Structure 1
Amino acid sequence: MPTTFAPIHPLHHYQPPSKWLLLAEGRALLEAGTSLALWPLLQAAPRGDGHAVIVLPGLLAGDGSTSLLRKYLANRGYDVHGWGQGRNLGPRRGVEQRMLDQLEAVHDSSGGSVSVVGWSLGGVYARLLAARRPELVRSIVTLGSPFSGGPRDTNAWIVYETVSGKKAEDPERKRLVEPTPGVPTTSIFSRSDGVVAWRCSVERPGPAAENIEVIGSHIGLGAHPAVLFALADRLAQPVDGWKPFRRGLLGPLIYPDPQRYQ
């Protein structure tokens, strides 16, 4: 049975992460180094079936920030694509249409539905793609993505408004992004996230929707060994046989129970 959560009020606001958690984001380097050290062990994750995966970066980041993640997924047997739009400066004019065009092109060239992995703001984009073209999307995995809560529940909202030229409060986009997508959906988050209030990344209950908690930073989520393993496991789920993530015997140490906040 998928983990269930109490409903989150759509107008609820959360306190952004403390300045101490923000300062602790420097541990991302250690998390990436740990993944490299554990690279042989990470090969024990399930292999994929070769379907296409698009990986979307976070705010101010580009495809370089997801290179380790994409290399790992390619190693697991997936047809992996970056987003190809340079730095992610928010939903400027044409950005969302180019993502939709890419989704359609990858779908047509691969001959099947596409999984979308989005880190932070990239995960918000992933949910938007699923809302607009669900018939093209196989599954979604988001990493520390603020798809619920208020517009200022992160430590990045000022940067978002500055580089995108748009207000953080966007009711129309929120209407598309906040509801659980109609495809298998996994939200991976960390309570020690120093950028996004972790409650903004908690998914609502559903027959094919789940949350996976890890212990780590926001900036390091895309290179965290526990995230990489969970991501490979999630993408390996068959189209018609999706099952929730099993935390295993080491769950409390590596994948804490995400429901304990209730």
Structure 2
Amino acid sequence: MSEGAWQPFRTPLHYLGLPRSVTPPIWRERRAGAELAALRAARPAPPTPPEPGAPVLVVPGFAAGDDRVALLRDWLREGGWDARPTGLTDGRRCSSRDLAVVEAALVRLHTETGRPVTLVGHSRGGMFAKALAVRHPRRVRALVTLGSPLTDPFGIHLAVRLLTMWMATMTRLGRRDWVRDCPFGDCCREVHDDVLAAAPPGLPFTSIASRSDGIVSWHASQDPAARCVTVDSSHGGMVAHPGVWAAIADALTSSDAPGRSRVG
């Protein structure tokens, strides 16, 4: 897959994406526990919101619910943000269905507060955040993505591709209501087209990626419209990594023009 309009995969073999899909160093995902310990030992100060109680949604990634990003959400609340959950419980359904839950949360929070909402999204949650910024530019104040494949929605490791195929099989057998045939059909075309679309002009947008990400190709996280920051982190550990939190704090207090820098 390359940047452009969404095209379904022709066959399961095509979807596996070999050999490119085994390129991310998945063994480095074992660092997540050590990264959490480092965060507990030295947490960065939370960013100060532009005004007290500024609303923010923290969007979890694939196969994860709001509890997966609870530490990050609580950290933002400590800084004075009105950080809300999205309503996602496990994030295992098709992108179109899970995005609808997050979209409803965004509209509700914007209506309730009367203020544009900052979106912080991890992995697929960052894809959702980008899609919502494209759909609702007046409702979104700023966008920060963490390890999100924004220029190639399927720039992911073979292990995740196999997982989604198994989940789709369980759904077809009637044992679960998870992902369906998303890679091979049009059910999520609109989601992927919005992810691949240009971000609204003037939107403060930071994409944080790790060159040692074991799940998502860090190249796919380099959105041309974003201020791209690279860190040294596992993929799963990005939501609880001191260097990533420092980069988030910088992103939410900075209005720098797009460019590349390194943090952590």
Q: With the length of structure 2 as denominator, give the TM-score of the two structures.
A: 0.79
Tell me, yes or no, if the aligned pair for 1:53 and 1:79 is still in contact at 8 Å.
yes
Q: 1:91-240 alignment to 2 at 5 Å?
A: 91=94, 94-149=97-152, 151=154, 153-155=156-158, 156-161=160-165, 162=167, 163-168=178-183, 171-182=189-200, 183-204=203-224, 206=225, 209-237=226-254
Q: Distance in 2 between matches of 1:90 and 1:120?
A: 15
Tell me, yes or no, if the aligned pair for 1:154 and 1:196 is still in contact at 8 Å.
yes
Q: Distance in 2 between matches of 1:37 and 1:174?
A: 38
User: After the TM superposition, which of the residue ranges 183-192 and 212-221 deviates more from structure 2?
Assistant: 183-192
Is the partner of 1:16 in helix, strand or coil?
Answer: helix
**1:15 to 2:20 alignment:** yes
* Counterpart code for 2:217: A
Tell me, yes or no, if the aligned pair for 2:87 and 2:101 is still in contact at 8 Å.
no
Q: Deviations over 1:219-249 (max 9, x none)?
A: 1001110111111222234xxxx224899xx
Q: Distance in 2 between matches of 1:245 and 1:77?
A: 26
* Counterpart code for 1:186: T
User: After the TM superposition, which of the residue ranges 123-132 and 168-177 deviates more from structure 2?
Assistant: 168-177
Structure 1: stretches of 5+ with no match in the other structure:
1-7, 256-262
Q: With the length of structure 1 as denominator, give the TM-score of the two structures.
A: 0.79
Q: 1:6-45 alignment to 2 at 5 Å?
A: 9-10=3-4, 15-18=20-23, 21-39=25-43, 42-43=44-45
User: After the TM superposition, which of the residue ranges 122-131 and 163-172 deviates more from structure 2?
Assistant: 163-172
Return closer, same or farther for 1:17/1:95 CA change in 2, 3 Å cut-off.
same
Tell me, yes or no, if the aligned pair for 1:17 and 1:197 is still in contact at 8 Å.
no
Tell me, yes or no, if the aligned pair for 1:17 and 1:194 is still in contact at 8 Å.
no
Q: Deviations over 1:154-194 (max 9, x none)?
A: 33123234241132365443221112311221110001000
- Identical-pair percentage: 31
Q: 1:49-88 alignment to 2 at 5 Å?
A: 49=51, 50-88=53-91
User: After the TM superposition, which of the residue ranges 27-36 and 97-106 deviates more from structure 2?
Assistant: 97-106
Q: Distance in 1 between matches of 2:70 and 2:58?
A: 10
Return closer, same or farther for 1:202/1:115 CA change in 2, 3 Å cut-off.
same
